[in-house]
Structure 1
């Protein structure tokens, strides 16, 4: 299919392949909801599985740990295979995992199913952006990737809160069963509207170690790790923290957070090309300030909800800013490999943050969660402040920075 048309003798890029891109966006949505849904269902899942809320939180830890361990080796193993069958296989893995969670009464079996979902998630995230880029001409790649990654925002703003709310009248198992059904239907959509592409030829593959040591990359990956550690300490256990603060509507708290991420991404889109460093520093300062407010005044409902709204706005924009810095530092030729490394670090942060938060919850109680998150977010802020030369300069470059 031609990617251009002629209008008065001028080549004009064809319209975006919306159906295929929206299928990939829905895959991103499904992955994020699958990963984070247990965070909104801790009080309901714990009695059914016969474990504490902290151990239900470890279902998020297990998912992220499996993604962390599997992302690079599984991606390397599958790089030579045609892309669409790999994508379909990952979606079927999500369907199987969520179906098992919906039916299981055993914590061990549920945890194993979450590990499977984590492997599928690591595989999926390593290929989504590159897949979108291959579906459009070069001048449309940024927009195509933005469409696909919008699934993350929709998952945070609508998917996780809706799944939490659905569990009220129908039970938490229905939420996971619905996710399994969505994944199965999505495989048909992908086969119908997403084009097939060949795998990578061995001669064209860029070694991972070489990309990891490019100037700026280690600093950017460190910021990713600190941010996700601090964020996930609180986000995974937002249900018990809200209950501790005297506000039991976890679905409302998650909805406020998710809706605010939309505002954060919108504001970031206006500033990322002009003032990326200042915008990221501002977002991290705001995240740290929110933890101070939650630590001291969360029992005031207005403070709780306003803090969560500011937290969502700040966090919603930060990953986009970090991803932009990563692509600028790696350059276009190594961007896919750099993204796979970030996927690994991202999930390490989710796993470590949810594990740390669970241990703090069991030993010190929910009041200690924001104080645990605060130094991790401060570490992310300090790393950005010090990484001015290669990782987070004041303005954006056009390729890899020397």
Structure 2
């Protein structure tokens, strides 16, 4: 029998794929909070931590480009198990690094399999869920992302404090192995992949489709606008708004919980009123959350942060729900790999622009300079606000294109 919603037992599929998302996102984020511990223990300059992120992202992009042609030809469950097992192994081995070189190699190898794991996992969810219910399903899967921020990062910090920087890598690698074993046991094996085995999916073939090009623009614009702000939001609160450093943990907990609830609500709502309307609503909430960075005082800082986190999460679900309806079944994994590539590129570009626009303010010219407010933040927030319009324009084009196709048939 073909792979279907009933065969996949969605009550098991959704938590398993959410667990994959949790592990992938936490693995990607792990070196951000642990950076000072790692650089001190391995005796390399903190500035070189950026090399590790670059290695991870670059290998993920290259792996995605190479694999687009092949991902849809393999059994999705088998491919996911192989890629996720490799991700878990190299995450574990990162904890055994003895210097920057060995850690760099481990992170690059992990990056190869991270994006592929998520592409195959999301293809499984799309395969198993009817189009009219995908928004709700994707919202549930993305719980893993929020949990990585709410629980994963604080847990990693506590593990590092208790047992050294290696312990979070060991624990996350072990968790990945456990998820692999559960997936091998609980996920059904596809019985019919013949149609995909002859798939001629390739990057040029995907990019020839106007809807795919627009989806790439939507995904890149969505991540670009978010990651202009995400890396500097906490610093802005502490340095510019004099928000207590000791209360940042609670701030992120409340923001993460609100994002989790927003994803569920807008995921379900997108199935009823369409992703464009829910994305527009989420974008308006993001704009309200940006007001402190634009020197407006419309809300208390905590409320503004909650609005930004909730709006960003809701927009992510809306974008994912809209894009899930684009690829044909024999192109889904390759399409998801392509979206991961443009997502990574959008994040890297946003990080570079954010660092460039704030570089003068962040330059440590004296010991007291670390306490100075960030400058250039309103310009950065305005750029983020304008960039947030790109996904909306793309979603409007997709909706019009899909309506025209329905009218033709």
What is the TM-score with the length of structure 2 in the denominator?
0.78
Asked if 1 retains the 8 angstrom alpha-carbon contact of 2:8 and 2:187, the reply is no
Once the two structures are superposed, residues 28-87 of structure 1 have per-residue CA deviations (whole angstroms, 9 ceiling, x without a partner) of 210011112223334444433445555435534432332222213124245433333322
Q: Shift of the alpha carbon at 1:387?
A: 4.2
How far off is 1:207 after superposition? Answer: 4.3
Partner of 1:323: 320
When residues 46 and 73 of structure 1 are mapped into structure 2, their CA distance, relative to the original with a 3 A threshold, is same
Which segment is superposed worse, 19-28 or 142-151? 142-151
> Is 1:248 aligned with 2:245?
yes
Q: Could you tell me which residue of structure 1 aligns to residue 153 of structure 2?
A: 160
Distance 2:296 2:264 in 1: 28
Q: Does 1:80 align with 2:77?
A: no
Separation in 2, partners of 1:72, 1:400? 32
Instruction: Please list every run of 5 or more consecutive structure 1 residues that lacks an aligned counterpart in the other structure.
Output: 5-11
Does residue 279 of structure 1 match 2:269? Answer: no
Q: Give the whole-Å Cα distance in 2 for the aligned partners of 1:223 and 1:141.
A: 18
Cα deviation 1:67-110 (Å, max 9, x = unaligned)? 22221312424543333332222223222332233233523332
Q: For 2:296 and 2:164, how far apart are their aligned partners in 1?
A: 32
Partner of 2:368 in structure 1? none
TM-score by length of 1: 0.80
Residue of 255, 258, 262 corresponding to 1:257:
255
8 Å CA contact retained: 1:215, 1:390: no
Q: Determine the C-alpha separation between the residues in 2 that align with 1:375 and 1:49.
A: 39
The question of 1:63 aligning with 2:72 is answered: no
State which drifts further: 34-43 or 371-380: 371-380
Who is 2:389 aligned against?
A: 382
Alignment of 1:1-80 (within 5 A): 16-51=9-44, 55-57=48-50, 59-80=52-73
Question: Aligned pair in 2 of structure 1 residues 143, 278: CA closer, same or farther (>3 Å)?
Answer: closer
2:213 match: 218
Report the 3-state secondary structure (helix = DSSP H, G, I; strand = E; otherwise coil) of the residue aligned with 1:256.
helix
Matched residue SS, 1:76: coil
Q: Provide the C-alpha distance between the structure 1 equivalents of 2:287 and 2:203, rounded to a whole number of angstroms.
A: 33
Give the corresponding residue for 1:267. Answer: 265
1:221-236 residue pairs with structure 2 within 5 A? 221-236=216-231
Structure 1 distance, partners of 2:407, 2:100, is: 48
Q: Against the structure 1 CA distance between its residues 240 and 171, is the aligned structure 2 distance closer, same or farther, given a 3 Å change threshold?
A: farther
Q: Which residue of 88, 108, 116 maps to 1:115?
A: 108
Distance 1:123 1:232, change over 3 A: same
On the 8 A contact 2:143/2:260 being kept in 1, the answer is no
Instruction: Say whether residues 1:92 and 2:85 are aligned partners.
Output: yes
Structure 2 distance, partners of 1:131, 1:202, is 16
Q: Secondary structure at the match of 1:84?
A: helix
